[in-house]
């Protein structure tokens, strides 16, 4: 992945594996985190003259487990922490489609964005990841939810967080960025900064759809995106 990023002319690449308190097969096991840390820090040094390597983690937010999440995050020498929601209760809606239809889509959005708001208010994270991933399987609200979206963006602004523009959504069933243009326009209106992620799980996905993503950000009005180093922001011109 590092060599692919170098070949594509990137100045920087960040690794942000999933860290989840629940035992799921798509997250790194807790006992393997020290190995991951050692590998990334070694690679950071090895390639420092060719590309900047950042160490991040994507952490699932669970209400009521803020202390455990805080202790976990503090134990890892990361450059940035992405907070994301993949669970509503015990339901992993990101991979398990069995409970779609149990609630109205409006109610589903209310529950999901309520969790996003709690994640933002927790103070645990630097960035909120793929903020509207609830639409992944082309699940959309029945009625206008602009107030819910706007309230969520306001909370993100109030708690000084960054929103991730995740280009991987283009290759999911929803076939659009997460967030889509409406939410990005709300972010811009409320002066919420964004960062860019290709959510690359394979080498060929490095920097996927970046040209169209940066073009869309520029169209909205953004002139900069956010990078991180030791959890401190720096602005990068588009």
Give CA–CA dist 236/92, Å, rounded.
34
Q: Provide the CA 87 distance to its chain's centre, in angstroms.
A: 14
How, if at all, do strands 232-237 and 224-229 pair? antiparallel
Which pLDDT tens digit goes with each residue over 9-31? 999 999 999 999 998 999 999 99
What contacts 75, CB < 8 A, 6 or more positions away? 33
**Percent of the chain at pLDDT above 70?**
100
Give CA–CA dist 192/160, Å, rounded.
8
Give CA–CA dist 41/58, Å, rounded.
17
Give CA–CA dist 119/128, Å, rounded.
8
Which pLDDT tens digit goes with each residue over 56-109? 999 999 999 999 999 999 999 999 999 999 999 999 999 999 999 999 999 999
Asked if residue 65 has a cis previous peptide bond (ω within 30° of 0), the answer is no
Two tokens, residue 91: 């339901």
Q: Considering its fold, how many domains does the chain have in total?
A: 1
Q: Domain residues for 209?
A: 1-237
Residue 182: per-residue pLDDT: 97
CATH (domain of 124): 3.20.20.140
């Amino acid at each position: 992945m590092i060599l692919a990023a170098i070949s594509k002319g990137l100045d920087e690449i960040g690794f942000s594996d999933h860290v989840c308190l629940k035992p799921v097969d798509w997250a790194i096991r807790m006992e393997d985190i020290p190995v991951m840390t050692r590998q990334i820090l070694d690679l950071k040094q090895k390639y420092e003259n060719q590309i900047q390597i950042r160490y991040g983690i994507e952490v699932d937010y669970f209400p009521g487990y803020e202390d455990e999440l805080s202790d976990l995050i503090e134990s890892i020498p990361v450059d940035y922490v992405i907070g994301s929601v993949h669970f509503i209760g015990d339901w992993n809606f990101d991979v398990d489609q069995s409970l779609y239809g149990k609630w109205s889509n409006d109610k589903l959005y209310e529950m999901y964005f309520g969790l996003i708001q709690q994640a933002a208010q927790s103070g645990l994270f630097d960035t909120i990841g793929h903020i509207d991933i609830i639409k992944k399987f082309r699940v959309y609200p029945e009625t206008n939810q602009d107030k819910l979206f706007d309230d969520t963006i306001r909370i993100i602004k109030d708690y000084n967080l960054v929103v991730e523009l995740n280009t991987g959504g283009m290759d999911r069933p929803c076939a659009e960025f997460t967030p889509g243009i409406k939410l990005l326009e709300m972010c811009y209106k409320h002066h919420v900064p964004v960062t860019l992620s290709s959510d690359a799980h394979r080498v060929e996905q490095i920097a996927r759809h970046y040209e169209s993503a940066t073009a869309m950000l520029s169209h909205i009005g953004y002139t900069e995106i956010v990078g991180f180093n030791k959890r401190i922001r720096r602005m990068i011109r588009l």
